[in-house]
Amino acid sequence: MKEALLALIGIPLLGALLTLLTARSNRDWARTIALASTGLTFLISVALVLADMAGAAGVAGQYHGETRRLILGTGGSPESLRGISFHIGIDGISLGLVFLTGLLFPAALLLTRKEANINDWGFLAWYQVLQALTFGAFLSLDLILFYVFFELTLIPLFFMIGGWGGSMKIEAATKMFLYGLTGSLFTLGGIVGASLALGGMEKGCDFSIPRLVQVAKDRGKPMEELIDRVEKSREALKHTKTDLENKTAQAKFDEAEHELLQKRNAASHWLNWQTVLFLMLMAGFAVKIPIIPVHFWQPMAYREAPIALTVVLSAVLAKMGLFGVVRIVLPLLPEASVRLATPVLGTLATIGILYGGLAALGASNIRTMLAFSSISHLGFCLLGMVSLNETGLSAGVLQMVNHGITTGGLWLLALILLERFPTLEIHTFSGMGGRFKAMGVVAVLLTLSSVGLPGLNSFVGEILSLMGMYAQGSDGRQLAVLASLGLILGAWYMLNFLLRVFYGDERIPASVPVRVACDLSRRELSVFVPMIGLCFLLGLAPQVFLKRISADTHAVAAELSEAQFRATGSSHLAPLELANESHEASAHKGKPAAPRKPAPQDNKGGAH
């Protein structure tokens, strides 16, 4: 297992190196190397999934195939740089994403014709590097390691879009890079801040995700005992008889109350600080997904990138942001997530679902349509995650995989169309299904899956997402109702696309030689058939996968519900002055360092 994970990162890197060294003048050889290395990662990821299915159900917080090596941390090194390690492992949340990475990288390459301009040693080397980095990001269990992989993906993307893209490639590459860089720099600040706040500042820095999650979980616990103690001492105070007893009871009560007050103060600082960290961490992930106000790079990048790259950009790389949310943001910052995730991210996700749907409806090009539909679909993943309950979280993770397969499949369809025809403008096509039967069937099935037909995969993910959101209080209910309009929009634009391109009178773009315009070849079928099989499998038996992820999502959900209980449960103490204090604290939204009034000490006596 351990070796398999290392191989996932190592094989594409070796492939890239081999391409660089031996294939600079031979396009066929470069393609062979790239197909072999990405194909090997596919086999490994399939083996990982099978091994995992055969094994026992996962245990939360347990990662398979862990490798841990300290990178920085030798004696004499400065404190500020201590504790970065190469720490990788796989669990239910990352399993599906690793599988997607292993599936789509070779698929996109396999479907590209040999003569395409991307079968160039430079592009293929970068492509393999990108795959290695993607695997690395999904597998890493160390914050800095994750960041390194996450951020480094910008470099291959920049060179691949800028070097082999469409007519506006330089603008697209620059825009993508600058958006990504700006966002992820804030994420870096958030990572550093979270590790300092959670890992402690005396021992040097701790960047290990499992350890920090544990710390975050334990943070709120002592509070409950204290509340108990205050309650008890108050009771004791009421039942005192003599003066002396009263005095000691009063002293005890004061002490407990004072301690609680301090803890509350600390907790409210921690909450404010969490809010800042939440916003900083989310900046990078929001750009990567992308969420609405920072999505401007995405349609252009998807349009201008070579289409094989667009496939993996949309189907795999966008998941890095969502993965960051579920792996880092929610478990490390439970209180801030309870406070901000549903209202802020949920709203943005809903806006994204509707905006993406409307924009896709108006798109005249297949690429633009799929780009906007991605915004809409990823909105559903995010919506599920930010509902913060187990249903929603599982649905979010499941939907990431579903989107990878379905939208990935649609992008691959666009790829093979572009292999045959010079353009992807929707109006140039008509009645393709009549002439290309197999292609028509594939298109219909993928479209239906994307639309969310029951029995196919997206249905399960989307419905569970909406159910999760619906269960999340009244805000959640409103959002869920609004977001479900996105399903209708999705059906509208996807069926519209199907109707215009594959039905009606046969018309294909002029000036295409007939021998190029042919139906699906065996090579193409060998990619599409298994993908459609997966659509059915995940649609008819989602439990196979849900069972696998539930242990991990359950742990996150349990932590979040505890945090939620702490946030709302504090109203038990209404008779105490403290309660008001904490209400006031929670009213200070978005102001990290709002100077807080010291609690009025002389009010203590008023409690009895």
Partner 1 sequence: MNTDLTNLAPSPADFLASVSPAIPEFFLLALGSLVLLGGTFRQERPLWGWISFFGLVTAIALAVRPIVSVPLDGNPYNGPLVYDGLSQTLRILSFLCGAGLVLLGWEEGDSSHVAERSALVLFAAAGASLCVAANDLATLFLALELVSIPSYLTLFLARSDKNGRESTLKYFLLSIFSSAMMLFGFSYLYGITGSIRIPEILAVLAESSLSPVPEAVPAARLVGLVMVVAGLGFKVTAVPFHFYAPDVYQGTSHFGAAVLSTLPKIAGFAALARLTGLTYETNGGVFLPFESQPSYLFWILASVTMTLGNIIALWQNNLRRLFAYSGIAHAGYMLVALSVGREVGATGALAALVVYLWAYVSMTLGTFAIFIYLDKKSKHLEKVEHLNGLAKTDPIAGAILVLLLLSLIGLPLTAGFIGKLALVQCAIRRGLENAITEAHPTSELRLYVGLAVLILVNAAIGGWYYLRIMGALYFRKGKESPASNRSVAALLTGAACVVVTIAVGVLPALVTRGIGEVPSQIIKTNVLVGESQDKPVDNH
Interaction site with partner 1 (CB under 8 A):
71-72, 74-81, 144, 147-148, 151-152, 154-155, 158-159, 162-163, 169-170, 173-174, 177-178, 181-182, 185-186, 188-189, 192-193, 196-197, 201, 205, 262, 265-266, 269, 272-273, 276, 280, 592-596, 598
**What does the alpha-carbon distance between residue 209 and residue 191 come to, in Å, rounded to a whole number?**
10
- For residue 270, the minimal CB distance to partner 1 (Å) is 9
Cβ distance to partner 1 smaller for residue 188 or 480? 188
DSSP 3-state of 138: helix
DSSP 3-state of 207: coil
- For residue 81, the minimal CB distance to partner 1 (Å) is 5
Cβ distance to partner 1 smaller for residue 61 or 163? 163
**What does the alpha-carbon distance between residue 337 and residue 332 come to, in Å, rounded to a whole number?**
9
DSSP 3-state of 87: strand
Cβ distance to partner 1 smaller for residue 595 or 606? 595
163: left (phi over 0), alpha (psi -120 to 50) or beta: alpha
Cβ distance to partner 1 smaller for residue 190 or 542? 190
| Closest alpha carbon to 431 in 521, 503, 367 | 503
Cβ distance to partner 1 smaller for residue 35 or 148? 148
Q: Are 334 and 152 spatial neighbours (Cβ–Cβ below 8 Å)?
A: no
- Which residues are CB-contacts of 466 (< 8 A; sequence separation ≥ 6)? 380, 383, 480, 483, 484
Which token pair is 545?
């996968």
**What does the alpha-carbon distance between residue 531 and residue 537 come to, in Å, rounded to a whole number?**
10
Cβ distance to partner 1 smaller for residue 148 or 444? 148
Cβ distance to partner 1 smaller for residue 162 or 357? 162
Q: Are 416 and 519 spatial neighbours (Cβ–Cβ below 8 Å)?
A: no
- For residue 203, the minimal CB distance to partner 1 (Å) is 13
Structural element, H or E, at residue 113 = none
**What does the alpha-carbon distance between residue 372 and residue 51 come to, in Å, rounded to a whole number?**
36
- For residue 236, the minimal CB distance to partner 1 (Å) is 27
Looking at residue 510, what DSSP letter applies? S
Cβ distance to partner 1 smaller for residue 250 or 265? 265
Backbone angles phi, psi at 71, to 5 degrees: -95, -45
- For residue 226, the minimal CB distance to partner 1 (Å) is 16
Cβ distance to partner 1 smaller for residue 49 or 267? 267
Looking at residue 23, what DSSP letter applies? -
Cβ distance to partner 1 smaller for residue 155 or 517? 155
- For residue 601, the minimal CB distance to partner 1 (Å) is 12
Cβ distance to partner 1 smaller for residue 324 or 409? 324
Question: How far apart, in Å, do the first and last CA atoms of the chain sit?
Answer: 62
Cβ distance to partner 1 smaller for residue 180 or 452? 180
Cβ distance to partner 1 smaller for residue 22 or 262? 262
| Closest alpha carbon to 369 in 508, 502, 495 | 495
- For residue 79, the minimal CB distance to partner 1 (Å) is 5
Backbone angles phi, psi at 542, to 5 degrees: -65, -20
Cβ distance to partner 1 smaller for residue 211 or 269? 269
- For residue 588, the minimal CB distance to partner 1 (Å) is 11
- For residue 263, the minimal CB distance to partner 1 (Å) is 11
Q: Are 474 and 342 spatial neighbours (Cβ–Cβ below 8 Å)?
A: no
Look up tokens 């969490």; give the residue.
274
**What does the alpha-carbon distance between residue 98 and residue 48 come to, in Å, rounded to a whole number?**
9
Which token pair is 433?
């299904």
- For residue 140, the minimal CB distance to partner 1 (Å) is 12
521: left (phi over 0), alpha (psi -120 to 50) or beta: beta
How far, CA to CA in Å, does 110 sit from each of 9, 37, 100?
Answer: 20, 12, 15
Q: What angle do CA 376, 527, 464 make, to 5 degrees?
A: 35
| Closest alpha carbon to 138 in 388, 450, 465, 400 | 400
- For residue 259, the minimal CB distance to partner 1 (Å) is 12
- For residue 175, the minimal CB distance to partner 1 (Å) is 10
Which token pair is 285?
């992930």
- For residue 23, the minimal CB distance to partner 1 (Å) is 15
Q: Are 483 and 469 spatial neighbours (Cβ–Cβ below 8 Å)?
A: yes
- For residue 169, the minimal CB distance to partner 1 (Å) is 7
Cβ distance to partner 1 smaller for residue 88 or 424? 88
Q: What angle do CA 79, 145, 88 make, to 5 degrees?
A: 115
- For residue 350, the minimal CB distance to partner 1 (Å) is 28
200: left (phi over 0), alpha (psi -120 to 50) or beta: left
DSSP 3-state of 320: helix
